[in-house]
Structure 1
């Protein structure tokens, strides 16, 4: 019967070996000093925090967003934090016109040099029952969250491949690995980003271009504040179980993972647990990652089953309260 234990023994050995190698071998750090970094959604939230961090490491930064006033505010913040920082603003809706995005990126490279790191942080969330959300809103979620990323990468990838170096970061969501009540449109757009990024990772690996996906939980940003104004009770209660994180923490973890060449970037215990289970067919970035997943997947899968049971209970309780309220009217 001992042969039944060999998978666990092999995984444990792999975990130990991966951990030791990770400590003994030099990490694959990426130097950003003098490099050109472009951040979409760079005027607020995770994108803004990431732009500041990159500038502090000596990068030349292009920040992209629609609101010119907030872009200029972010530019002043970066220049105040980093003496002599080279920062440019691009007021642009990355979801609308692929040709305009391509032209803007060309102009940005003319000003600050060829891109090395492209971070796609622009996006928004809106929670509503599937049938109650207008089709136009479903479409807008896909346009901003998916095509807003695709338009940028479609324009930037040829140059990265030609130079055979570079980094890409795509901010998806924990809603990109698990469906959440009220988030049909949002989760669909974020799931699409995972498929896009995993496929792009395979295409770009031979060219020395890395791809990192960020799976943030609820993050304390202006967008999150706006989202909460209309969020149904079921969605709010389910999302609260994962906690609320500051954008600076999410951005720092993302930048650390990008510089280390990691494929996945998460913060918090639940983020690590949910991405481990939800990305079971995803690419493997290291022996240590593979070992952790092999060892922990059975336990994590059981925990996630309890998550779903808890979420189902929240939905039932909310439905019962509404039904009782209608009867009392």
Structure 2
């Protein structure tokens, strides 16, 4: 018995040391997301996480294009982002007003961005647009359910389709290519894609679909990247990498709006969750991308949830993720029933409106 406790304690200490080293970036030294001098397009860039991403990437030397519907907000955000430029004399900034829920608008966005970028498509495209309407599923009208899928999933899918078709066109002359660094398509999903909670049936399925799309596109892109290896002059001009970012709660105007419609039981389930500012979540997301991660979380809780739900997705760090997955799979034996109990107890103590 004493020997078992000794080895359990030793294993736990080793796990904590490895986790600490991982968070310090010990296992990934190369920058896998070079943005200095490159062009980044960010949807949902007029506020919240998108605006913070634009500021951070501008600080790192990127040319930034932000996309949203509201032109006044875009103008304000552009000033905010450009004021953080690493080199104001060289960097360029641009806005595009568009309705991302329409497929042809996404094609227009890529075409306009390409023309603005001296005939080259953006090097990095970040599908960040979206909104959350957390509410009980049966209390939500069908139009809102469809709107949540359009706003969160289809905006990313349409943009991915338009972007990848532009990126994968063969370039006959290598001299016409600005560089051969990998291009990155990034989607902002949510931790809601990894766990089911009462009150998120309106929103989380769209984010789960986005995570699934990222998994499938990552696999498909090996086809084109592999073709490029043997066709360097007539194949696609650069490798393409897919990423999916899974943030949790972000303290922003959007979060305040969510809480106005969020059911009380959902708030109970979220008690104790780590909340991040838009700058904190942007910094954590970019750091994970710079480390070369495919699925990027922005908090320790998110990292733990990701490790236990990765399926066939590539591990960021095989040892850390495997260790965490083992621990969290055991933890869910207690966490899951506790969450279910809280929902059940709320139903026992409070009136529940049933459909008429």
- Please name the residue that 1:87 is paired with: 93
Tell me by how many angstroms 1:26 deviates. Answer: 4.9
Q: Does 1:129 align with 2:142?
A: no
Runs (5+) with no aligned partner, structure 1: 325-329
Q: Does 1:247 align with 2:247?
A: no
Q: CA contact under 8 A between 1:213 and 1:265: conserved in structure 2?
A: yes
RCO greater where, 1 or 2, for CA within 8 Å and sep 6 or more? 1
- Please name the residue that 1:140 is paired with: 147
Q: Secondary structure at the match of 1:156?
A: helix
Larger mean CA deviation between 310-319 and 35-44 belongs to 310-319
- Please name the residue that 1:256 is paired with: 287
Q: Secondary structure at the match of 1:240?
A: coil
Runs (5+) with no aligned partner, structure 2: 1-6, 170-176, 226-238
Q: TM-score, normalised by structure 2?
A: 0.80
- Please name the residue that 1:295 is paired with: 323
Tell me by how many angstroms 1:119 deviates. Answer: 0.7
Q: Does 1:181 align with 2:234?
A: no
Q: Secondary structure at the match of 1:295?
A: helix
Q: Secondary structure at the match of 1:167?
A: strand
Tell me by how many angstroms 1:127 deviates. Answer: 1.6
Matches within 5 A, 1:1-329: 23=26, 26-82=29-85, 83-84=88-89, 85-95=91-101, 97-113=102-118, 114-162=121-169, 165-205=182-222, 207=225, 208-285=239-316, 289-323=317-351
Q: Secondary structure at the match of 2:137?
A: coil
Q: Secondary structure at the match of 1:257?
A: helix
Provide the C-alpha distance between the structure 1 equivalents of 2:51 and 2:271, rounded to a whole number of angstroms. Answer: 24
Larger mean CA deviation between 140-149 and 75-84 belongs to 75-84
Q: CA contact under 8 A between 1:212 and 1:257: conserved in structure 2?
A: no
Provide the C-alpha distance between the structure 1 equivalents of 2:264 and 2:96, rounded to a whole number of angstroms. Answer: 37
Which aligned runs of 4 or more in structure 1 are off by greater than 4 angstroms? 22-26
Provide the C-alpha distance between the structure 2 equivalents of 1:157 and 1:34, rounded to a whole number of angstroms. Answer: 21
Q: CA contact under 8 A between 2:136 and 2:202: conserved in structure 1?
A: no
- Please name the residue that 2:228 is paired with: none
Q: CA contact under 8 A between 1:39 and 1:120: conserved in structure 2?
A: yes
Q: CA contact under 8 A between 2:52 and 2:279: conserved in structure 1?
A: yes
Q: CA contact under 8 A between 1:169 and 1:258: conserved in structure 2?
A: no
- Name the one with the larger helix percent: 1
Tell me by how many angstroms 1:23 deviates. Answer: 4.8
Q: CA contact under 8 A between 1:42 and 1:48: conserved in structure 2?
A: yes
Q: Secondary structure at the match of 2:327?
A: helix
Across the two proteins, how many residue pairs are aligned to each other?
308
Q: TM-score, normalised by structure 1?
A: 0.86
Larger mean CA deviation between 293-302 and 49-58 belongs to 293-302
Provide the C-alpha distance between the structure 1 equivalents of 2:202 and 2:160, rounded to a whole number of angstroms. Answer: 22
Tell me by how many angstroms 1:323 deviates. Answer: 4.0
The alignment's C-alpha RMSD in Å is 2.5
Provide the C-alpha distance between the structure 2 equivalents of 1:150 and 1:122, rounded to a whole number of angstroms. Answer: 11
Q: CA contact under 8 A between 2:246 and 2:295: conserved in structure 1?
A: yes
